[in-house]
């Protein structure tokens, strides 16, 4: 089954929901209007569907091979990556001064979704490089930025994140990797890092590892972590590559999914001298501020992982629709057809497909609006607007990451169910999407970590002010719905209002009780994230419904597309938003049953 990028829906989200034309009035984005977006998305769609998507199934069956520390990527990846680099895709949203194209994140996020629909495994290499670029832009010295960024932005070199160690997963206070100063401004890194995505590969000439490590006199815990840049090959002052650094790929993991993405165990020197004296590295920023800098990279990566969830869900949806249109099985209930019909005529199959579609469109719209807020926060001339946009973007990052990735697991599972028994057979391709999606709710911080962030940093830190400001914007949309008479608008108004009220009640509960009863609040932290994700995605579909009805009334736009928008929004209201009040009840009243069973009784 071929992949067809949903360019029309992406452009609708950008233009009608994210305010792309308003972004063109910001410094640096003057040429980034709808025409530019359409041209970029059209070319990205061609590349993803023709070059990358055909590699997805075969690379899953024949993943990378590790031999004596070197990794050979799946067949076709080198050619596809070369075309990716030649097309300038790595630099799409990065600064022009370092060789990028300087386009808004709003456009780049849509291109990223396409790449992830085409192949999650392939897309992970550019994703990690983007994060490394963001970290250097934030904390790198002027010399480091001018020396390293052009090669990363043009795709000559790629980047990685090195956080996790065998004894230090999410608890980075337990990081043991050492960084010993050499007296000349460099450091020797020794230790082991695990789960390093594209930590070793043959796609680019060099890999720049961003590594969390401790200097000898560092304080204990997270306050003693520093960030270092450690290249696979040392780089000479003229930019040419020197000898191999003391960083070695000891193995790659055998995984449930994303099999074509090499996940490396990296050894940086070691105390026994088996590899060497340690890998030479540069300090990024100041000592003991590494976690702060890494979170810049992490936040960029978390948003991107949410987009991954949308991408793989879209691919699973397209495959399920194609199968449902083709598979003949039984007569529809009610005798609407005299003979066996394709299963897309059956009500429950329609329900599953609509569940998939509504979730995807809601999450895509939310991610697009969040990306636009990021662009505003970095480019708007008004400091008040920048601050408000940053607060909104930061509030939505754990939702884009947490809700969209959990959504992708549900949607890809439904994709298998639509296929029936054939979905369980690897040859149909439906199972790969499910396997690939499963990691998304785990890496770059599990859903519980996203929920902890939503509670502690995004809700409690400002006493719920940002969350309540979002609720006020939702109330404004409710007022736009209030006088409309269509069944879709009435259903959305009723369910959006109830969902918003439930959201506000949960925010009040979190603010009132987190400090005094943390176990009570955190027992419902993931449900709070899922509730908030549903509410904000539903809000975007409510806005889309209003716009679609207005355009239909004016006789403008693509009528079938707009009618589908309205039908999808109504489904989201009646089948997804309608569950929010019950989620509120579980969060506010259900902590005792979460914590009630003694540990020994499990």
What is the reported pLDDT for 534? 98
Q: Per-residue pLDDT for 44 more than 70?
A: yes
State yes or no: pLDDT of 273 exceeds 70: no
Q: Is the pLDDT of residue 566 over 70?
A: yes
Instruction: Please report which confidence band the pLDDT of residue 189 belongs to, taking 50, 70 and 90 as the band edges.
Output: very high
Least confident range of 15-24, 80-89, 162-171, 342-351 = 162-171
Pick from 426, 439, 443, 442: nearest CA to 56: 426
Q: For 387, left (φ over 0), alpha (ψ -120 to 50), or beta?
A: alpha
Lowest mean pLDDT among 44-48, 318-322, 329-333: 329-333
The whole-number average pLDDT for the span 289-307 is: 90
**Model pLDDT, residue 333:** 78
* Interval 254-261 mean pLDDT: 98
Average pLDDT over residues 486-503: 98
pLDDT at 225 over 80: yes
Mean pLDDT of 268-280: 70
pLDDT at 346: 93
Give the pLDDT confidence score for residue 272 in this predicted structure: 47
User: Residue 336: which pLDDT band, with cuts at 50, 70 and 90?
Assistant: low
- Residue 276 binned pLDDT confidence (cut-offs 50, 70, 90): low
Q: What is the pLDDT of residue 174?
A: 87
Pairing assessment for the beta strands 247-252 and 263-268 based on DSSP bridges: antiparallel
Is residue 468's pLDDT more than 70?
yes
| pTM across the whole model | 0.97
Mean pLDDT of the chain: 95
For the cut 90, the answer to whether the pLDDT of residue 296 exceeds it is no
* pLDDT at residue 331 tops 80: no
Q: Give per-residue pLDDT as tens, 439-461.
A: 999 999 999 999 999 999 999 99
Model pLDDT, residue 270: 65
Tell me the pairing of strands 206-213 and 157-162. parallel
Say whether 444 is catalytic: yes
Q: Rounded mean pLDDT of 79-108? A: 97
Question: At 230, is the secondary structure helix, strand, or coil?
Answer: strand
| pLDDT exceeds 70 at position 102 | yes
Q: Report percent pLDDT > 70 for the chain.
A: 98
CA neighbor of 447 nearest in space, from 409, 404, 408, 402: 402
DSSP 342: B
Catalytic residue among 410, 444, 480, 574: 444
**Mean pLDDT, to the nearest integer, of 341-349?**
94
What is the C-alpha to C-alpha distance for residues 64 and 122, in angstroms, rounded to an integer?
11
- Residues 55-71 have a mean pLDDT of 97
49 CB contacts (<8 Å, ≥6 apart)? Answer: 2, 3, 4, 5, 118
56-82: average pLDDT: 97
Instruction: Give the Cα separation of 66 and 91 in Å (integer).
Output: 29
Q: What value does the mean pLDDT take over residues 147-154?
A: 98
pLDDT number for residue 548? 98
Question: Which positions ≥6 away from 549 have C-beta within 8 Å?
Answer: 484, 486, 488, 489, 562, 566
Q: pLDDT of 483-492, one tens digit each?
A: 999 999 999 9
Query: By mean pLDDT, which of 127-141, 237-251, 326-340, 505-519 is the weakest?
Result: 326-340
Mean pLDDT of the region 121-134: 96
Residue 335 is predicted with a pLDDT of: 65
Element (H, E) at 511: helix 487-513
Q: Please state which of the ranges 193-202, 225-234, 334-343, 359-368 shows the lowest mean pLDDT.
A: 334-343
DSSP 56-119: HHHHHHS--EEETTEEEPPTTHHHHHHHHHHTTGGGTTS-GGGT-----HHHHHHHHHHHHHH-
From the CB of residue 359, how many other CB atoms can be counted at a distance below 10 Å? 29
Structure-token pair, residue 16:
């009608």
């Amino acid at each position: 089954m071929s992949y067809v990028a949903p360019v029309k829906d992406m452009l609708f989200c950008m233009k009608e929901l994210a305010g792309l034309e308003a972004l063109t009035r910001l410094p640096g984005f003057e040429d980034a209007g709808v025409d530019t977006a359409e041209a970029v998305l059209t070319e990205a769609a061609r590349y993803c569907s023709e070059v990358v998507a055909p590699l997805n199934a075969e690379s899953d069956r024949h993943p990378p091979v590790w031999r004596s520390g070197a990794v050979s990527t799946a067949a076709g990846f080198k050619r596809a990556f070369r075309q990716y680099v030649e097309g300038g895709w790595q630099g799409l949203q990065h600064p022009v001064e370092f060789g990028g194209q300087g386009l808004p994140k709003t456009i780049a996020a849509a291109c990223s979704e396409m790449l992830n629909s085409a192949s999650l495994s392939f897309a992970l290499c550019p994703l990690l490089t983007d994060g490394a670029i963001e970290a250097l832009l934030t904390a790198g010295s002027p010399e480091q930025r001018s020396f390293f960024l052009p090669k990363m932005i043009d795709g000559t070199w790629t980047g990685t994140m090195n956080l996790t160690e065998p004894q230090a997963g999410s608890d980075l206070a337990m990081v043991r990797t050492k960084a010993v100063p050499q007296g000349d401004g460099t450091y020797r890194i020794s230790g082991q890092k695990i789960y390093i995505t594209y930590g070793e590969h043959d796609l680019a000439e060099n890999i720049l590892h961003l590594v969390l490590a401790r200097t000898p006199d560092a304080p204990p815990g997270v306050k003693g972590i520093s960030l270092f840049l450690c290249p696979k090959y040392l780089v000479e002052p003229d930019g040419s590559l020197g000898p191999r650094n003391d960083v070695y790929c000891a193995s790659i993991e055998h995984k449930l999914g994303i099999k074509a993405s090499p996940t490396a165990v990296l050894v940086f020197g070691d105390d026994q001298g088996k590899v060497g004296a340690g890998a030479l590295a540069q300090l990024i920023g100041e000592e003991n501020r590494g976690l702060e800098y890494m979170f810049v990279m992490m936040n960029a990566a978390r948003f991107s992982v949410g987009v991954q969830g949308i991408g793989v869900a879209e691919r699973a949806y397209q495959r399920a629709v194609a199968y449902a249109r083709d598979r003949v099985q039984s007569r529809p209930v009610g005798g609407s057809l005299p003979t066996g019909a394709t299963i897309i005529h059956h009500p429950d199959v329609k329900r599953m497909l609509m569940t998939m579609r509504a979730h995807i469109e809601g999450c895509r719209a939310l991610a697009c609006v969040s990306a636009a807020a990021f662009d505003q926060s970095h480019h708007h001339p008004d400091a008040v607007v920048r601050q408000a946009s940053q607060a909104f973007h930061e509030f939505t990052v754990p939702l884009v990451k947490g809700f969209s990735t959990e959504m992708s697991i549900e949607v890809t599972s439904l994709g298998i169910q639509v296929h029936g028994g054939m979905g369980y057979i690897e040859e149909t391709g439906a199972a790969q999407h499910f396997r690939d999606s499963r990691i998304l709710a785990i890496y770059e911080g599990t859903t519980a970590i996203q929920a902890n962030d939503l509670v502690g940093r995004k809700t409690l830190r400002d006493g719920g002010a940002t969350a309540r400001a979002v609720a006020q914007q939702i109330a404004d949309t409710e007022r736009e719905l209030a006088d409309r008479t269509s069944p879709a608008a009435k259903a959305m108004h009723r369910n959006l209002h109830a969902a918003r009220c439930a959201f506000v009640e949960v925010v009040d509960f979190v603010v009132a009780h987190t400090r005094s009863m943390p176990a009570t609040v955190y027992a419902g932290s993931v449900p709070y994230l899922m509730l908030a994700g549903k509410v904000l995605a539903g809000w975007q579909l409510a806005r889309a419904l209003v716009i679609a009805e207005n355009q239909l009334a004016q006789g403008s736009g693509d009528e079938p597309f707009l009618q589908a928008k309205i039908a999808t929004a109504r489904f989201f209201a009646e089948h997804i938003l309608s569950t929010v009040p019950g989620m509120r009840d579980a969060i506010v009243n259900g902590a005792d049953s979460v914590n009630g069973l003694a540990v020994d009784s499990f």
